Each structure stands twice: as C-alpha cells, then as structure tokens.
Structure 1
Amino acid sequence: MLIGLAPRFDTMTYQISPLGTWLAAVLRSSVLACGIAAASGAYAATDPFSWKFSGFGTLGAVHASTRSADFTSTVLRANGAGATERWSPDVDSRLGAQLDVSRGPWSTVLQVVSEQDLEGSYRPNVEWANVKYQVTPDLAVRLGRIALPVFLAADYRKIGYVLPWVRTPVEVYGSLPLSSSDGVDATWRWSAGSLRNATQVFYGRTDTRLYEERRLKARGIAGLSHSIEQGALSARMSALTGVVSMDIGNELFTAMRAFGPQGVALAEHYAIESKRVVMLTGGFTYDPGQWFVSAEIGRARTRSLLGRTTSMYAGGGYRFGDLTPYLGYAKVRADSATTDQGLNLAGLPPRMGAIGAMLNAGLNVYLSATPIQSSVSTGVRWDVMDNVALKAQYDRLRPTDGSRGTLINQRADFRSGQTVHVASFALDFVF
C-alpha cells in the first residue's frame, strides 16, 4: 500500500462525536464560509466579483459479518463495521461545504470536509484552499492546497452523489488515502481533432496529523497527469513520486537497532523514514448515457513497511429510469514480502532471544498490513429526486495469504482467508 497505516501496538479508547457535535462543527465552518461569501456578494455591487456556496454529504450505515476486524472505507478511520459496531455510520458518512469566488482571470476555492478521523473525531478539515490564475484560455496555474490528480475520481472521490456506487473501491483508492497536497500545479488544455486533452504537472508537500503525536509527512510530491475525453470516453493516466516519512513502528526499529548490524539493516530497510514512493495509475470510463463501464489500475512502489502493491477494479451499470443496478470487481495484491524471518536469534542469551522473538513477531504484524484482497460488489442506485440519491450495496471480500486486506482493528482471533460480507446503505446529496 502506498500510504497505509500499519497496526498499532498501543491501545487507545476512541470517543465518537455525537451527531449534534459533528453537525455543529461543520456548520461553524459553513457559517464562516457564508460570511465570506456574503461579503463578496455585497462587494459585487461595484466590482465584477462572483461567488457560489455549495455543499455535499453522505449519511451512511454499514454492516459487516466479521467480529474479528472492522470494515471501513479508508485506513484513516478510527473504526468501522464489524468488531467495533455491528452497524456503523462512520464508514461513509461525511459533510462538506465549498465556497468559490472569482473575478476576471482570478478565482479561489475553499472546501471543508467533516468525516471521522483516526481519533474518532469529526473535526472539519480543509480539503482544498487555493488560488487560480487563468493565464490564457488554455493554461491555468494554481497555488495552495490542491487535489492530487491521481485516479479518475481524484476531484470528487469524497462526493458520494457523483459516484454510481456507495464508495470508491477500497482496494484501489485505499492505496492513496491522502487526496490533496500543499503546492502548485499547472494545467494545459489542448485538442487534437475531436480528442480533448488536459495535461497537468504538480509539485507540493504535506504534513498530516494521524493520531496523538503521529504524523505523515511527504515532501517533493511531484507528478504528471494526462486526461483525455472523446465523446462518451474519458481516461486519465498519472505518475506521482515523493519522499515519505511516518513515525509508525519507530519503537520497534529502535529496539531492533540494539541487536547490532542485522538489526540496523532491518530497521533501515523497513522504517518509513525519507523513503521514495512512486505511484503509477491509469483508468477509463465509457458512458454513452444508458449504461457505463469503468476500470482502473494502480501500482505503488516503496522500500519500507508500506511495501509494493498492484491494485485494480472494473465495474459497470445500466440505467432504468431512476434506478441504476451495478456490478464491480476489485483486487489488490502485494508485490513485496509480507513476512520476514527478522533477527537471527541463534546463539543469543535466553533473555535477548525472547526479546528478539517479540520484535520479529511485531515486524510481521506490521508487514501483514500490506493488503492482499479481492472483492465482488453489487448494488443499486435510486435517484430519488434532483440532487438526492439512495444506494444499497453488497460486498463480498476476502483477505488472503496472511494479510488483513483493507480491514482495520483486527482482533487476536482474526484469520486471513475468511470471507467477509458487507451491507451498505447511503443517502447522498448535493446542494
């Protein structure tokens, strides 16, 4: 997994914010945005400013058959459905607000999203905040917090209403839970006959708090993305690289270094300290109106606990008026070792041997977090009214080869290879 969270050895108690607290926190951010928008609207009486306030949200409920782990939509969640709760609203539920302001060639966007984080809080988070300058009709430059243009749904992955299914496939989109970076990008739009092209280059960094004092840092995030459109066909290819540091497993590797050169070598190999990450993705959607198909593939490479993975999905659906049944298949595999013999304990004193055995076991717990999993999904979307959709989805997923797959919070009795059945319901809306 490109940027995933390995299991934690420490135990934590999470307090889930009541729905009222969640809504109040988001509304405070929304009121602030509305105030800015109102000021812009008043100023527009004398200057050609324009502004727009919009929002989106998902109210979800998910049930998972397992009691040994939690199913969730991203590793950046405190819990999910299964071991923690039989029915969980935290897997997919979120609320977002967006303010767009423009004047001439200049425009700004601010997007705030509230969803559960690793500490169980629904504190609103600034997802986008950037300034854009339209240099020419075909060339635009942005500065600030920008969506990473990786995968087809990069710009709308959190807006459930736009998706035909309940959520983006976790096997694929879970490989890059970070959806934005702080930096600059430039997009050039050009045509070749009937083929419309958009070529985007980007550069930035991120410093994200995970939980307690744990942080995810990435510097030198650079990449190239190219999108094409022709009739009903849309496609995107992207390449991204960056240097990632994450203080996950630091205690383990500090202890391993005390075992001399072999421990130092293991720590240098697996510690997530200034490790180069490379990710390549490609995908397409064909949607002539009555039906649609889409598919994506991604490869992530790094020499650390995060490992190397290949992921893919394919799916499609058919529209019968307001009803859209759909079917999908997704898979992620590990291209690096998910176990390691670790320290050589031969000849060590009994006490040191016991400590070494514990460290080796800990290393393999971390390595088992590299996802190996396949899933089949089916569901139906009902467009109840304009801007409101109700969805029901069934997923049958199976982690294999000793991996916990994309599940989190696994218990001691968790066994890889067991099938997990997941039922999801979601009410998506935009305004």
Structure 2
Amino acid sequence: MSLTRLLRRCAAMMLLAAAAAPAHAEADAPASPPRFEFAGFGTLGAVSTDDKDVWFTRYGVNYPGKKDPDFSPDSLVGIQGSLRLTPYNDITLQGLVREDGGASQDPQLTLAFFRQTLAPGLSVRLGRVRVPFFMLSDSLYVNYANPWVRPPVEVYGLNPFNDLDGVDFIYNARFDAFDIEVHPYYGGGRIPFPQGKARLKEALGVNLGLSRGDFSLHLGHGEGTFTLERGDALFVAVSNILQRTGQGGVISDLSGTHGRTRFDSVGVQWDDGSWQLIGEYARRKTNRYAASAHGWYLSLGRRFGPVMPYMVVARQMLDEQFAAATLPSGRLATLWDVFLVSRNNAQRSVTLGARWELAAYAAVKAEVTQARPDGDAWGSYAPRGDVETTRIGGRTLNTFSLSLDVSF
C-alpha cells in the first residue's frame, strides 16, 4: 500500500472515531470563558571558528556572517500566544525574529493554527504548524529545551524546512505500559535561500512516538515535491559554463520546480534525571536539485547538580549528487568542482560541551566542536573569501559556541 493511501485511511479512521464520539460531550461540559496564555523564549548565541578564512553556517537557517564572533546562526527571540475558546478548541500564534537564509531579520510567523479536539486523545490542527521531520522538531526554536547550543547540524541540516502550512492530526493513547502518539500531516512550506527560493509542496507523512518511563522512541517518514530555484553568483557562473559547452540540460538537475524528495528519521532518548542519552538517524532522498545524504549523532550527558557536561559524536555522508558534466580542464572545470563541493555538507565531528542551569528557565551553554569536512565537501562551513582558492574539505576546523537560552 502506498504512503498516500495509508495516510488517507488513517485520516478517515480518525474522522470516523470523532464522529462516533458522544455528540453531546461538548454541550455537557461546563461553560468557561475564553482564556489567553502567553509565553516567550530567546537565545543569544555566538560562534567563532579558529581558521579565519571560513565561517560556520547552518544551511537554510541563517545567512553566513562576516563577523567574528558571529551571532546569526543561533540568536533569536520569539513570543507565543494561545487563546483557548472552549475546553475543546484553541488558536495559537507564534512570532519569531532571527536572521534567515536570505540575510533578512524581518519578523516571521512560525505558528498560526486552529486546534479542535475531535475525540478523547484525538485532535486536528489547521494552519501553520511545525513540520515534524525530526525527534526534536517541536523544540527547534525554544532552544532552552535542548541540551546543546544547537541540535547537531549533521542531522538537523538535512532538512531545513521547519514550518508546515496545512493540516495534521495528533492521536495519543496508552497501550499497556506504553504511551503512543500517531501524527499524520499534509501541507507545504518555504524558506528564504541566498539569491533564490526553496519551497516544499504536497508533503505527506506520518510520525510514530512511543515512550515508557525514561525511554522514548521516534519514527518518521515523509514524501513530497520541492522547488529549489537558485540565483547565486556561483550557480549563475556554472549555468553559463554549461550553456557554452552544450550541456544546458544539466541545469535542470541543479535548479527548478519539479523535484521529489522523501525523508526518514529514527530517534531514541533515555533520561533518568542523572544520565542523558540521545541518538538520531535521518536520510534525505531526492531526485534532483539537492544531493541525497544521510547522517547520525549520538549524545551522552551526565548531570552534576545544575551542570551537565556532554559529548556528541556526529557524521553526515553524501549518497548521490545527481549532476554530471564533462568540462575541459582549467577554470571551467574548477568552477564546476567547486559548485559540487558547495552542495556537499558531509563531515564528521566531535563536540565537548556543558550546560549550566543559571536560574529557573535560563541556561548557559558552551561547547567546542572539532569538525572535519569530507575531502569533496564544505560540511557546515563556507569560504570567507574566494570560493575557488579556499579549500575546506579535508581540513580540521575548531568551532567555539556560547549561548544564553531563556524561556518564560
């Protein structure tokens, strides 16, 4: 059975369950006036790399900065308000200010949905929600909830789409000693892209969550179409080269509006209050525009009162580039090679860090990451100067990160 048919059947079963619920349940509930709830969160983060010919970047999240230290990868401030209309429905809005992939710092509407309870344990949300590609998707912006300065880029850089305009269902149930959550979703989203745009369309997926005591498990699968229309200087130069050498057809594998993608993820977490173990694996499979890749990380932390030292080992690997051209040796071939390398974020890294609970709802985090991008990759870095002469692949790069996270 295809994923589309499976999700349609899941949605139909959920709607039938809602229809079977007592029709007078809401009428019998005691009336209560609308209630408004407000929350805020923020991160002030700084990043510095020891080699000053490169800068650290989170592709699809921020625009590579030209200052050292760089505050753009992690710093943000957000507010969220929820209006509970009745015990069975509410409206939620979330606004965020941070630098995006297009170097803009304009406010963003990151959540805007209406939620309705359909039956015990079953609700539907309509509007803009968080796209649940990863185990920690719900806390991506509220970084106080995460143990690190940022989620490992080797995994969370595989899919930069965070917001979904569409509909999702959330069903929670208890089976024996296990809590189960089933989360199907449908919709699309977009992100600013340097000198271009990227859009996710017709994304259809389902997540399964399973938890018991200190242990939780996440399983996710999604499919959809996507657009990646590039206009940056490197892409324009490569496009002109391909046209001049009679290989203009290759451009349709590099930029366009008819890409297809699928995304799979598995995550586990164990936390007994003293020890914390988190691991996640994700794979991005595409047919054009963006390279296919997969990644994983394993994080181990130990609490000593308000301080938790931790260590993270992570890896991302390239699966397929989806672009091939034959160019004469010289600058033309060099530009083509640089373009392919810029699309490859494969790297391995080891991070040592510590989190200090400074006060209630405030934490300071510091970490040092030693990363080694693959020989034909930029990893999570970008050249500060000439892209043709700055080599990143195969180098060992040390990055220091510091952040103050608050949630109120």
- TM bracket, shorter-chain basis: 0.7 to 0.9
> 1:139 Cα shift?
0.9
Write out per-residue CA displacement over residues 212-263 of structure 1, whole angstroms, 9 at most, x where no aligned residue.
5x22122111111111111111111111111111111674447635654x54
The Cα of 1:371 is off from its aligned counterpart by: 1.2
SS in 2 for 1:48: coil
Q: 1:337: how far off?
A: 4.2
Q: 1:325 aligns with which of 298, 309, 325?
A: 309
Residue 63 (structure 1) aligns with: 48
Q: Deviations over 1:300-348 (max 9, x none)?
A: 11122411101000001111111111111111010114984x1365xxx
Hey, what does 1:142 align to over in structure 2?
Answer: 125
Aligned position for 1:40: none
The CA deviation at 1:401 is 1.9
- Say if 2:223 and 2:261, in contact at 8 Å, map to a contact too: yes
Cα offset, 1:361, TM superposition: 3.9
Equivalent of 2:265 in 265, 278, 281: 281
Aligned residue number for residue 63 of structure 2 = 78
Q: Distance in 2 between matches of 1:305 and 1:367?
A: 11
Q: Which 10-residue stretch deviates more, 360-369 or 246-255?
A: 246-255
Q: 2:292 aligns with which of 293, 308, 315?
A: 308
Which SS does the other structure have where 1:416 is aligned?
coil
| Native 8 Å contact 1:75 1:408 kept in 2 | no
Q: 3-state SS of the aligned residue for 1:365?
A: helix
Aligned partner of residue 368 in structure 1, secondary structure: helix
Match for 1:256: what amino acid? L
Look up the match of 1:419.
396
State how far apart, in whole Å, the 1-side matches of 2:59 and 2:327 are.
Answer: 35
Q: Tell me how large the CA RMSD over aligned residues is.
A: 2.2
Displacement of 1:409: 4.1
1:125 corresponds, among 108, 112, 116, to: 108
Cross-structure match for 1:256: 242
Question: Contact 1:75 / 1:406 at 8 angstroms: preserved in 2?
Answer: no
Q: 1:122 offset after TM fit, Å? A: 2.0
- Establish whether residue 102 from structure 1 lines up as the match of residue 103 from structure 2: no
Contact 1:305 1:367 in 2 (8 A): no
Q: CA deviation at 1:123?
A: 1.3
Which is strand-richer, 1 or 2? 2
**Partner Cα separation in structure 1 for residue 313 and residue 369 of structure 2:** 9
Match status 1:113 vs 2:96 = yes
Find the aligned partners of 1:381 and 1:118 in 2 and give their Cα distance.
Answer: 28
The code of the aligned residue for 1:131 comes to F
Instruction: Answer yes or no: is 1:168 the counterpart of 2:151.
Output: yes
TM-score (norm. length: structure 1): 0.81
Query: Which of 185, 188, 191 is matched with 2:174 structurally?
Result: 191
Distance 1:286 1:106 in 2: 33
Distance of 1:280 and 1:118 partners within structure 2? 24
**CA distance in 2: counterparts of 1:219 and 1:103, whole angstroms:** 31
Cα distance per residue 1:6-50 (max 9 Å; x no partner): xxxxxxxxxxxxxxxxxxxxxxxxxxxxxxxxxxxxxxxx96211
Pair 198,113 (structure 1): closer, same or farther in 2 beyond 3 Å:
same
Measure, in 2, the Cα distance between the counterparts of 1:319 and 1:240: 35
Residues in 1 aligned to 2:84 and 2:141: alpha-carbon distance in whole angstroms: 23
**Counterpart code for 1:123:** D
Structure 1 pair 233/183, CA: closer, same or farther in 2 (3 Å)? Answer: same
Partner of residue 291 from structure 1, selected from 275, 278, 291 = 275
What corresponds to 1:37 in structure 2?
A: none
Gap runs ≥5 in structure 1: 1-45, 346-352
> Matched residues in 2 for 1:284 and 1:321: separation?
24
Shift of 1:210: 2.9
SS of equivalent to 1:398: strand
Mapped to 1, the partners of 2:115 and 2:288 lie a distance apart of 36
Following TM superposition, by how much is the alpha carbon of 1:75 offset from its aligned partner in structure 2, in angstroms? 3.8
| Alignment equivalent of 1:391, drawn from 360, 365, 386 | 365
Structure 2 counterpart of 1:401 = 375
Taking structure 2 as the reference length, the TM-score comes to 0.85
Matched, 1:178 2:194: no
- Aligned partners of 1:428 and 1:257: how far apart in 2? 49
- Secondary structure of the structure 1 residue equivalent to 2:138: coil
Change (3 A) 1:337 1:123: closer
Distance 2:320 2:377 in 1: 12
SS at match of 2:320: coil
Deviations for 1:96-149, whole angstroms, at most 9, x for unmatched residues?
Answer: 100011122111111111111234332111111111101012111111011011
Structure 2 letter corresponding to 1:419: T
Go from structure 1 to structure 2 and tell me whether the alpha carbon gap of 1:208 and 1:323 turns closer, same or farther (over 3 Å shift). Answer: closer
> Aligned letter for 1:428?
D
Aligned residue identity for 1:384:
L
Q: Tell me, yes or no, if the aligned pair for 2:161 and 2:191 is still in contact at 8 Å.
A: no
- Residue type at the aligned position of 1:53: F
Q: How does 1:36-51 map to 2 (within 5 A)?
A: 48-51=33-36
SS across alignment from 1:155: helix
2:149 counterpart letter in structure 1: V
Return the match for 2:211 from 229, 233, 248.
Answer: 229
Task: Kindly indicate whether the alpha-carbon contact (under 8 Å) linking 1:338 and 1:367 is maintained by their aligned counterparts in 2.
Answer: no
Query: What SS class does the counterpart of residue 252 from structure 2 fall into?
Result: helix
User: Residues of 1 paired with 2:323 and 2:127: CA distance?
Assistant: 40
Aligned to 1:247, the other structure's residue is in SS state: strand
Specify the SS of the correspondent of 2:339: helix
- Deviation, 1:164, is 0.9
SS for the counterpart of 1:161 is: helix
Structure 2 partner of 1:428: 405
